[in-house]
A and B are shown apart, each in its own frame.
Chain A
Amino acid sequence: MGEVLQRILTGATLALLLPWPLGAQKFYPDDPVWKEPKPRAVAEVLGRKLSDYYDFFWHTFATPGERHTTREPIRARSVNTLGEVPDGAWYANRHGRTRMSVEELVRGPGISHAPDVSGPWKVVGAKTEGVTPGFTIEDARGARYLLKVDPAEHPEMATAADVVGAKFFYALGYHVPENYVVTFERRQLRVDPTSVLTDPLGKKRKMNERDVDEVLLNVPRDSHKRYRAVASLMLKGWLGPFRFHGVRADDPNDVIPHEHRRDLRGLFVFCAWLGHNDIKSLNNLDTLVEEDGVRYIKHHLIDFGAALGSDSFTAKSPRAGNQYLFEFRRSIIQILTLGLYVPRWAKARYPHLPAVGRFESEVFEPERWKPNYPNPAFRNRLPDDNFWAAKQVMAFSDEEIRALVATGEYSDPRAVDWITKCLIVRRDKIGKAYLARVLPLDRFEVRNNRLEFEDLAVKHKFVPPRQYQVQWSRFDNLTGRKTPLAGRTLLEIPPELEPATAGEYFCAELRAADPHKTVTVYLRRGERGTQVVGIDRTW
């Protein structure tokens, strides 16, 4: 008897235990998660700087981070069961999920912390990072800003790009600083007696008014002799940049390798759209923040002075966005063909608008776009990562794009027109390219006893309305087994769901003309009806 009981107990224990540790459960009761769990408190964390030379060489001549294997690609991990990135330290769903009003888009990360002009701005330091000259200033309220200016030949170009870029990336879901276009007279700046400058030879010395004059010497001025700059509200809690691969060793909440984060993989599409080829570790920033009594690390994108047609200190090179700074194969082709092979981008046409720099849409090919040097997260992109990003780009209407471009406060309306037009064309190219790589069905819901969704390719008129093949199945959440429901091939919810008990799962596999491109939608019976809890895509 004892032996029999032992066997029964053992068997029962195994039956209970095995499914869980083997990880077979696809959905949990709280899926889909739209907000990351409250972060764990960060105890001790130190800021650290990264080397831009190292970053460039390492990414150009090595392959940091984990790459897809030849057998199986590595799907993005920072997603919920719907394939969306939950709100958290890296990302916040904004315009792509719930439409923002034009006012909200224009407001971006904030409009209420512009530098106070009621008193002089204390120059407390000179900007030594990056290629654009500037200062760190403190306004009358004690708020600190990074003040960056335009190159002499391109008034308004870099400052507008920095502001417009921040607004777009904010709307796209990233954490960015508040950037403001400001105009000021020389007398607005007063060197703080305690401010220290690192001179070009690395020696620290007290800053003086002459240093300010030197920086302003080649800064363009308007007809009222006023300077224009972008004032970027300094983020508090500086910890240094984050990389596009690996995790921060000192951050308990950073558990997904960055090269597998969808928000960083998809960032490629956003950067391509906005011409932000200078995306790199050094244009990111981690900060230590405290919310609800918990200190945690928040991840930001900063410095968009090289977005649109700007390269911060000059107009963008025509190469930018089309070729890495160094590419062995293309270099050899150029050498061997004596330059007779002319890349398409070299024939791009640009307007003679100094505030625009070099930004265009005719030659732009979203799938061939490149940042200045390879990026592990970008190179790990899969079609579903691109789809996630492309649908957000497509969420911007023409009017919304124009409103955001106008936040650059261009004095020449032709600059606004040109950039807006380019962004619209580039948006449509992105949609056409990436929505075609998967079956672009989105926004699934059960309504009127029917599975409803949007076909984004149809919605944006890239393809005509089309038919879908549907196969419903019963889904075993523990084993992952699908049992087809015979004859259930319509979008109507099959009657088998009605008597199902809460917690039972069903799925519908949809396909259009291409049998490789499928979308499987998972439904769960709940106390209050049927809920869409998951989406799988194949391509």
Chain B
Amino acid sequence: MLYLLVVLFLATTLPAQVASRSAQVETARKEKSLHLAPDETSRLERALLAIKERKLVERFTAGIAGFRLKLGGLVSGSGFALGPEYLRRDLADGGVILRGSARASLKRYQLFDLELGLPKLAGEKAFVDLYAVHQNYPRIDYYGPGPDSSKTGRSNFRLEDTAYDFTAGVKPVRRLRLGGLAGYLDVNVGPGADRRFVSAERIFAPAGTPGIDQQADFWRGGVFAQYDWRDNPGGPRQGGNYLVRYTRYSDRQFAQNSFGRLDLEVQQYFPFFNERRVIALRGKTALTYTADGQRVPFYLQPTLGGSEDLRGFRPFRFYDDNLMVLNAEYRWESFSGLDMVLFSDAGKVFPRRAPWTLKDLEGAVGFGFRFNIRNDVFMRIDVGFSHEGYQVWVKFSNVF
């Protein structure tokens, strides 16, 4: 009886015998066909797919009916900022760009701007841009004039200005832009809102800090030329970018703050090891020119320090009539979405053009992370060190 039970058990529980390989395959298929179900994806995958298919990220960044949320974009030190932006790139089949925004930061910095661009005139050989902006920055740092200003002399002031600029230019050949600018600038400086530090007008006099007592309105106009042969401006690995710009500021109120400003900038990228390593160099200078009896107001002076130039120093650490900055970065790829950086910054401000030398430069060194998507840097973290301490910068744009 036991034997019989064993036989019955085996006959009923073990798989049916097959006589051929084909039958074996068929048996497996038949077995599966009894349990078929829709081939569904997981909830998470469906969600990720929906995000892509419905272009939710694009819609979020592009907005609805042209309206979207704009993050950042204010001056260094303003803190986290956001606000609505209206952007239309689709007007006249892409021939017209209309943009306007209103942004404010946690530190109550404000920026309102409006731009109308015609980037594809004359078969994309010419461009025109109209730009109006109002800025209200309540606590811009000021440490006093010149390269010898003291870190402990930190004060702050409110900078409020309104500018209207018209830019037009041509692109005679690929990569070359030539153009001119004309505009109007209305500036107001007031007491700083940062109560931790003294307001600038209380400790700095007009003799050393021209314009601190009264501010002028300016006509400004100039010309520029740019030759840009970087392989990818969003995250260059080779090529160069050269810019020369001259702007003339005419004081239309007091006739004592007119000046000319020459900006020169050279960026050069030297790749090696198949562009997995890059030496990136930048040199830039701003030189101002004044006639007798004229002075450059401090709020229009070149400044040094911050996330864009001398990264081991606080923003706006140095003010003066002239500026020189040298940056060198060694960039290496950690993985496809991250480049690492070691950098060295040097620069100085100086009152006259005579010391346009490499002497007496302030220095900073540091390291950084460049996060990128398809080689476009979308975020960087830089940590800079100098004799004045260290600074950590989190920015959503590349430095150069």
Q: How far is the CA of A95 from the CA of B60 in the complex (A)?
A: 51
Could you tell me if A7 and B39 are in contact, using CB atoms closer than 8 angstroms? no
Q: A249 and B17 in contact (CB under 8 A), knowing A40-B30, A255-B28, A330-B335?
A: no
Picked from B10, B26, B46, the residue with its CB within 8 Å of the CB of A18 is B10
Could you tell me if B275 and A21 are in contact, using CB atoms closer than 8 angstroms? no
Interface residues of A in 176-226 (CB under 8 A from B): 198, 200-202, 210, 214
Could you tell me if A347 and B44 are in contact, using CB atoms closer than 8 angstroms? no
Q: A251 and B62 in contact (CB under 8 A), knowing A21-B15, A49-B49, A346-B274?
A: no
B50-58, B183-191, B316-324 - the one binding chain A: B50-58
The reply to whether the CB of B207 lies closer than 8 angstroms to some CB of chain A is no
- Mask, A18-61, CB within 8 Å of B = 1, is 10111100001111010011011001011011111110000000
Which of B21, B33, B277 is packed against the most chain A CB atoms within 10 Å? B21
Q: How far is the CA of A43 from the CA of B29 in the complex (A)?
A: 13
Q: Which residues of B contact A252 (CB under 8 A)?
A: 29-30, 32-33, 36
Picked from A10, A18, A248, A323, the residue with its CB within 8 Å of the CB of B39 is A248
Please give the distance in Å from B283's CB to the nearest CB on chain A.
23
Could you tell me if A334 and B24 are in contact, using CB atoms closer than 8 angstroms? no
The reply to whether the CB of B152 lies closer than 8 angstroms to some CB of chain A is no
Q: How far is the CA of A159 from the CA of B12 in the complex (A)?
A: 59
The reply to whether the CB of B14 lies closer than 8 angstroms to some CB of chain A is yes
Could you tell me if A334 and B38 are in contact, using CB atoms closer than 8 angstroms? no
Q: How far is the CA of A7 from the CA of B7 in the complex (A)?
A: 11
Q: Which residues of B contact A116 (CB under 8 A)?
A: none
Q: Which residues of A contact B30 (CB under 8 A)?
A: 40, 252
Could you tell me if A28 and B21 are in contact, using CB atoms closer than 8 angstroms? yes
The reply to whether the CB of A237 lies closer than 8 angstroms to some CB of chain B is no
Q: How far is the CA of A346 from the CA of B276 in the complex (A)?
A: 7
Interface residues of B in 283-298 (CB under 8 A from A): none
List the B residue with the shortest CB-CB distance to A242.
B39
List the A residue with the shortest CB-CB distance to B22.
A37
Picked from A30, A202, A330, A346, the residue with its CB within 8 Å of the CB of B54 is A202
Q: How far is the CA of A10 from the CA of B4 in the complex (A)?
A: 6
Q: A335 and B340 in contact (CB under 8 A), knowing A28-B19, A46-B38, A255-B32?
A: yes
Picked from B6, B36, B273, B338, the residue with its CB within 8 Å of the CB of A347 is B273
Q: How far is the CA of A200 from the CA of B4 in the complex (A)?
A: 72
Could you tell me if B22 and A33 are in contact, using CB atoms closer than 8 angstroms? yes
- Mask, A318-352, CB within 8 Å of B = 1, is 11000101110011001100110011011110100
The reply to whether the CB of B333 lies closer than 8 angstroms to some CB of chain A is yes
Q: Which residues of B contact A214 (CB under 8 A)?
A: 94
Interface residues of B in 326-366 (CB under 8 A from A): 330, 332-338, 340, 342
Q: A326 and B275 in contact (CB under 8 A), knowing A54-B49, A202-B59?
A: no
The reply to whether the CB of A13 lies closer than 8 angstroms to some CB of chain B is yes
Q: How far is the CA of A497 from the CA of B17 in the complex (A)?
A: 29
Could you tell me if A334 and B340 are in contact, using CB atoms closer than 8 angstroms? yes
Could you tell me if A251 and B39 are in contact, using CB atoms closer than 8 angstroms? yes
Please give the distance in Å from A525's CB to the nearest CB on chain B.
18
Could you tell me if B20 and A319 are in contact, using CB atoms closer than 8 angstroms? no
Q: How far is the CA of A327 from the CA of B333 in the complex (A)?
A: 12
Q: A17 and B10 in contact (CB under 8 A), knowing A50-B41, A249-B40?
A: yes
Q: How far is the CA of A33 from the CA of B29 in the complex (A)?
A: 16
Q: Which residues of B contact A23 (CB under 8 A)?
A: 15
Q: Which residues of B contact A347 (CB under 8 A)?
A: 273-274
Q: How far is the CA of A330 from the CA of B40 in the complex (A)?
A: 35
Interface residues of A in 275-329 (CB under 8 A from B): 317-319, 323, 325-327
The reply to whether the CB of A250 lies closer than 8 angstroms to some CB of chain B is yes
Picked from B19, B32, B337, the residue with its CB within 8 Å of the CB of A326 is B337
Please give the distance in Å from A321's CB to the nearest CB on chain B.
12
Q: Is the interface of A mostly helix, strand, loop or mixed?
A: loop
Q: How far is the CA of A453 from the CA of B97 in the complex (A)?
A: 72
Could you tell me if A51 and B273 are in contact, using CB atoms closer than 8 angstroms? no
Q: Which residues of A contact B46 (CB under 8 A)?
A: 51
Could you tell me if B22 and A30 are in contact, using CB atoms closer than 8 angstroms? yes
The reply to whether the CB of A11 lies closer than 8 angstroms to some CB of chain B is yes
Q: A54 and B48 in contact (CB under 8 A), knowing A21-B15, A318-B276?
A: yes
Q: How far is the CA of A75 from the CA of B342 in the complex (A)?
A: 48
Could you tell me if B22 and A249 are in contact, using CB atoms closer than 8 angstroms? no
Q: A348 and B274 in contact (CB under 8 A), knowing A10-B7, A33-B22?
A: yes
The reply to whether the CB of A253 lies closer than 8 angstroms to some CB of chain B is yes
Q: How far is the CA of A348 from the CA of B275 in the complex (A)?
A: 11
Which of A20, A31, A51, A346 is packed against the most chain B CB atoms within 10 Å? A51
The reply to whether the CB of A14 lies closer than 8 angstroms to some CB of chain B is yes
Interface residues of B in 247-298 (CB under 8 A from A): 273-277
Q: Which residues of A contact B33 (CB under 8 A)?
A: 40, 252
Could you tell me if A339 and B3 are in contact, using CB atoms closer than 8 angstroms? no
The reply to whether the CB of B388 lies closer than 8 angstroms to some CB of chain A is no
Please give the distance in Å from A30's CB to the nearest CB on chain B.
5
The reply to whether the CB of A6 lies closer than 8 angstroms to some CB of chain B is yes
Please give the distance in Å from B385's CB to the nearest CB on chain A.
16
Please give the distance in Å from A396's CB to the nearest CB on chain B.
28
- Mask, B50-74, CB within 8 Å of A = 1, is 0111111011001000000000000
Could you tell me if B39 and A250 are in contact, using CB atoms closer than 8 angstroms? yes
Could you tell me if B17 and A21 are in contact, using CB atoms closer than 8 angstroms? yes
Q: Which residues of A contact B29 (CB under 8 A)?
A: 39-40, 252-253, 255
Could you tell me if A325 and B274 are in contact, using CB atoms closer than 8 angstroms? no
Picked from A46, A80, A200, the residue with its CB within 8 Å of the CB of B58 is A200
Please give the distance in Å from A352's CB to the nearest CB on chain B.
13
Q: How far is the CA of A39 from the CA of B25 in the complex (A)?
A: 10
Q: How far is the CA of A46 from the CA of B3 in the complex (A)?
A: 49
- Mask, A345-382, CB within 8 Å of B = 1, is 11110100000001000000000000000000000000
List the B residue with the shortest CB-CB distance to A45.
B39
Could you tell me if B277 and A339 are in contact, using CB atoms closer than 8 angstroms? yes
Could you tell me if A339 and B330 are in contact, using CB atoms closer than 8 angstroms? yes
The reply to whether the CB of B121 lies closer than 8 angstroms to some CB of chain A is no
List the B residue with the shortest CB-CB distance to A211.
B93
Please give the distance in Å from A85's CB to the nearest CB on chain B.
13
Picked from B28, B277, B336, B338, the residue with its CB within 8 Å of the CB of A317 is B336
Q: How far is the CA of A347 from the CA of B272 in the complex (A)?
A: 9
Q: A48 and B41 in contact (CB under 8 A), knowing A29-B20, A200-B62?
A: yes
27 contacts between A and B (CB under 8 A): A10-B4, A10-B7, A14-B6, A20-B17, A21-B17, A29-B20, A30-B22, A40-B26, A40-B29, A48-B40, A48-B41, A51-B45, A52-B52, A54-B42, A200-B58, A200-B62, A249-B36, A249-B37, A252-B29, A252-B36, A318-B274, A318-B275, A318-B276, A331-B334, A339-B333, A342-B273, A346-B277
CB within 8 Å of B: which residues of A?
A: 6-7, 10-11, 13-14, 17-18, 20-23, 28-31, 33, 36-37, 39-40, 43, 45-46, 48-54, 80-81, 198, 200-202, 210, 214, 247-255, 317-319, 323, 325-327, 330-331, 334-335, 338-339, 342-343, 345-348, 350, 358
Extra pairs beyond A51-B46, A334-B332 (18, CB < 8 Å) = A10-B6, A10-B7, A20-B18, A31-B21, A36-B25, A37-B26, A46-B39, A48-B39, A200-B55, A200-B58, A202-B56, A249-B36, A317-B336, A327-B335, A330-B335, A331-B338, A334-B340, A347-B274
Across chains A and B, which 3 residue pairs bring their CB atoms closest together, nearest first? A339-B332, A202-B55, A21-B14
